[in-house]
């Protein structure tokens, strides 16, 4: 996959051929779903999701306020984590709806990653912390922001 001049071209590397070409907003990055049936292209203003191999636009999610810096799919493809400077937005892939917000770092977020079964999400920040979140608790509305902790100076 690559984005060139607002065109996303999806390639089948086994067949050495392009399978879809779609028009997208200029993208900062791409994420392929675990099943390989969808690709998300993001830029600071939001996320566009396209079908593979048809290239059809499936959904658009617009960022409100903080710019998008990364996107990752849960291993089952059912959820998507959209990383913004202010926090992570968990989206339900089927409906495109935001199902939870994870906020609590002391600085801008840089990345997020689901664990193997998609039950936990790890977020990283410029404040040099990594936080582990329960996805089920976040969706149920029970994932409060992480407590602010003082750095230990003991050695």
What pLDDT shows up at residue 23? 73
pLDDT at 142 over 50: yes
- CATH number for the region 26-139 comes to 2.130.10.10
For residue 104 the two structure tokens come to 């609590």
What are the pLDDT digits (tens) for 35-90? 988 989 888 889 999 888 788 889 999 988 889 989 999 999 999 999 988 789 99
Distance CA 136, CA 7 (A): 36
The 3-state DSSP class for residue 58 equals strand
Out of 51-65, 76-90, 103-117, 137-151, least confident range: 137-151
Q: Which residues of 72-95 are buried (b: 16+ CB within 10 A; e: fewer)?
A: bbbeebebbbbbbbebbbbbebee
pLDDT at 153 (0 to 100): 47
Going from the C-alpha of 24 to that of each of 32, 70, 120, the distances in angstroms are 15, 17, 31
Of 65, 64, 60, the residue nearest 80 (C-alpha): 60
Map out the domains of the chain as residue ranges.
26-139
pTM equals 0.81
Q: Per-residue pLDDT for 95 more than 80?
A: yes
Confidence of residue 5 (pLDDT cuts 50, 70, 90): low
């Amino acid at each position: 996959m690559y984005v060139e001049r607002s065109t996303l071209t999806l390639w089948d590397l086994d067949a050495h051929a392009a399978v879809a070409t779609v028009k997208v907003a200029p993208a900062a990055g791409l994420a392929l779903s675990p099943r390989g049936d969808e690709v998300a292209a993001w830029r600071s203003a939001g996320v566009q999701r396209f079908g593979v191999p048809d290239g059809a636009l499936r959904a658009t999610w617009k960022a409100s306020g903080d710019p998008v810096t990364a996107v990752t799919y849960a291993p089952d493809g059912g959820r998507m984590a959209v990383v913004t400077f202010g926090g992570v937005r968990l989206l339900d892939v089927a409906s495109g709806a935001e199902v939870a917000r994870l906020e609590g770092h002391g600085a801008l977020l840089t990345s997020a990653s689901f664990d193997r079964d998609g039950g936990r999400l790890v977020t990283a920040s410029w404040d040099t912390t990594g936080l582990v979140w329960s996805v089920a608790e976040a969706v149920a509305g029970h994932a409060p922001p992480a407590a602010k902790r003082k750095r230990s100076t003991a050695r």
